[in-house]
Amino acid sequence: MIKRILQQKITERLFKGKIIVLLGPRQVGKTTLIQSILNSLSLPSILLNGDESDVRDMLSNTTSTKLKAIIGKHKIVFIDEAQRIPNIGITLKLFADNIKDVQVIATGSSAFELANKTNEPLTGRKYEYLLHPISFFEMVEHHGLIDEKRLLEHRLIFGCYPEIITKPGEEKELLKLLAGSYLYKDLLTLEYVKKPVILEKILKSLALQIGSEVSYHEIGQLVNADNETVEKYIDLLEKAFVVFRLPAFNRNVRNEIKKGKKIYFYDNGIRNAILNNFSSLNTRTDIGALWENYIISERMKFLNYESIDTLRYFWRTTMQQEVDYIEEVNGKMFAFELKWNPKTKIKFPKTFINAYPSCKMDLITPDNFETFLGIKE
């Protein structure tokens, strides 16, 4: 079994007087992770699944007295798919305020649903975590650096979802099912999504534009939708952990792009499944985009799990000068070019160097990427 980084972090926060909220996309291993934690503790626990109608009835519009009756002598309450439960934020608040000797863990696959419902009621009452697809660091810990680097091309094509990693030979079929689960189980059940065909077209458009600046107006023209609809649907895709945005960096240069954005996928396999393209790397024309998406998404996992507070950007001017990826930590800047070919000769734009002379700059390739993703030399 692949051990997840969050297992120890969550275990250390148990019985500290706060609700544990674990967010993350479907099939990323949230339930498996929590069950692994519960098995290691050997404390009486109860599992309540928000997908079941009777559980939803019991936990919505309830009282602390009723909750005490439901949990009995159990010391841990695990509420899976908590976003399905009406008024779940108020219910969790009742646990936090009135049943302090019981640890509640709630998981959900939609930040839009669960985070929105718990933010206000649980202010100061929760520890919140985001579980990603399995990270490069976790796989190195599982079977070693050499083996994982040998699988790099496979990861660029099929991604890092637990089921994809643990069931070799079934990747294509499983990814197609997984991509469908993303679209049809989470997003299309929301009342805000009234045009599922447009949502699918937007996803394909985003999948084709990895590494390029995204224009809501241009996407709208492609999918026959207005800018507001495009922005709303992309926002939902982000809150369902399908994609994430990278904004443009601008400070000193007159012709820097001010409001630009790039959009990446949380997982390469999902991106390729949307395009139904699982071709090997030596036949592809999008290897640069795959590498960029993989590195930036893996870096995001590392920063999240290490609780490193970092501002993240790309940089570009109207004259097409560009820097792939920038981080700003405590006022210090770090710039990176992400190139699949290690022999690529790269020069950072003079405009950027002159504008930000104190910025540390580096090239990330398959020869050195492991240190960028948290593996110590």
Count of C-beta atoms within a 10 Å radius of residue 296:
23
Tell whether 241 is covered by a domain: yes
- Which among 130, 153, 173 is the end of a domain? 130
Is residue 142 domain-shared with residue 289, that is, in the same domain?
A: yes
- Which among 94, 110, 130 is the end of a domain? 130
Q: Which of 101, 107, 110, 159 is nearest to 135 (CA)?
A: 159
The model's pTM: 0.93
Tell whether 90 is covered by a domain: yes
Q: Tell the burial category of 74 from Cβ atoms under 10 Å away from its Cβ (0-12, 13-18, 19+).
A: middle
Tell whether 377 is covered by a domain: no
The structure tokens 């592809």 sit at 284
Q: What is the 3-state secondary structure (H, E, C) of 336-375?
A: EEECCCCCCCCCCCHHHHHHCCCCEEEEECCCCHHHHCCC
Is residue 272 domain-shared with residue 305, that is, in the same domain?
A: yes
- Which among 130, 161, 189 is the end of a domain? 130
Residues 360, 365: Cα–Cα separation, whole Å: 17
Is residue 144 domain-shared with residue 87, that is, in the same domain?
A: no
Q: Which domain holds residue 39?
A: 5-130
> What are the DSSP E strand ranges found in the chain?
19-23, 45-49, 76-80, 103-108, 126-130, 243-247, 261-265, 311-316, 322-329, 332-338, 360-364
Tell whether 121 is covered by a domain: yes
Tell whether 180 is covered by a domain: yes
CATH number, domain at 114? 3.40.50.300
Q: Which two tokens stand for residue 20?
A: 């544990």
Would you give the DSSP letter of residue 84?
A: G
* DSSP helix/strand/coil, 69: helix
Is residue 124 domain-shared with residue 177, that is, in the same domain?
A: no
Q: Which of 296, 205, 200, 320 is nearest to 247 (CA)?
A: 296
Tell whether 147 is covered by a domain: yes
CATH number, domain at 186? 1.10.10.10
Tell whether 142 is covered by a domain: yes
Tell whether 41 is covered by a domain: yes
Is residue 267 domain-shared with residue 357, that is, in the same domain?
A: yes
What are the Cα distances from residue 95, in Å, to 43, 59, 102, 190? 18, 11, 8, 27
Which pLDDT does position 113 carry in this prediction?
Answer: 65
Pairing mode of beta strands 360-364, 19-23: unpaired
Torsions phi, psi for 133 (to 5 deg): -55, 160
Is residue 77 domain-shared with residue 166, that is, in the same domain?
A: no
Is residue 12 domain-shared with residue 145, that is, in the same domain?
A: no
Q: Which two tokens stand for residue 337?
A: 């070019």
Is residue 284 domain-shared with residue 307, that is, in the same domain?
A: yes
Is residue 157 domain-shared with residue 207, that is, in the same domain?
A: yes
Structural domains counted in the chain: 2
Is residue 177 domain-shared with residue 78, that is, in the same domain?
A: no
Is residue 174 domain-shared with residue 63, that is, in the same domain?
A: no
Is residue 24 domain-shared with residue 103, that is, in the same domain?
A: yes
pLDDT in tens, the chain (377 residues): 899 999 999 999 999 999 999 999 889 999 999 999 999 998 999 999 999 999 999 999 899 999 999 999 999 999 999 988 988 889 999 999 999 999 999 998 876 667 666 667 888 899 999 999 999 999 999 999 999 999 999 999 999 999 999 999 999 999 999 988 776 666 776 666 777 788 889 999 999 999 899 999 999 999 999 999 999 889 989 988 999 999 999 887 778 787 889 999 999 999 999 999 999 999 999 999 999 999 999 999 999 999 999 999 999 998 889 999 999 999 999 999 999 999 988 889 999 999 999 999 999 999 999 999 999 86
